Amino acid sequence: MNELISRTQRNHALEHATIHMLSHRYKGFNAQGNSVHDGFFLNIYGDIPAEAIEEAVSEAYERLQGGEHSLAIHPNCGTVLLTTATMVTLASQMAFAFEQRRLRRIQANPLILLGAFPAAILAGTLALIVSRPVGLSLQARFTTDGDLRDLQVARVRKVKPSPVTHLFRWLLAGGKELEMTAYRVDTIFNN
């Protein structure tokens, strides 16, 4: 089980580094990925040539192997987004509950509970600010591993876009036509 997790973390690092490489070359595109123990899926939203994906994977691999482990961290990773959502929700709910309890003691009027909203908004905003560095730290510590060790890229291939790919396209495009291509990067481990 630990080996599967380790492989997924290294693939996740390669996925992020690949997105970094593409971001430096192409402006105005979006990407969404999903890593598994034997590779990763990469959904590209925008006009990126297929050969650019292979080049980006190759460069990302070489740079990670060369010690640029910071490429494994990406600010738009699901780890950061999930950390942000969790922290904002919990902070807002706790502040709202605390303020509701405090205000009930002061006055029994139910409308006074509306006064709990500013505290909840403030707590949520503070959690939003703090959550980004916390999410990046969690990503670096638990969900990625920039030291690829024995990971090898086996192949990069175009695949049929999944329902998730279509959902993200709809969310990103806002009703406009947006080019979308899905890839699968297969990896192997020589151990």
Residue pLDDT, tens place only, 57-112: 999 999 999 999 999 999 999 999 999 999 999 999 999 888 878 777 766 666 66
Distance CA 39, CA 14 (A): 9
Dihedral of CA 52/76/178/156: which sign? positive
104-162 pLDDT tens trace: 776 666 666 677 788 899 999 999 999 999 999 999 999 999 999 999 999 999 999 99
CATH 3.30.980.10 for the 2-74+144-189 domain, yes or no: yes
Its pTM surpasses 0.75:
yes
Dihedral of CA 46/48/54/59: which sign? negative
| Beta carbons within 8 Å of 9's beta carbon, 6+ residues apart | 142, 143, 144, 145
Residue of 8, 4, 10, 60 whose CA lies nearest to 31: 60
Structural domain boundaries of the chain? 2-74+144-189, 78-143
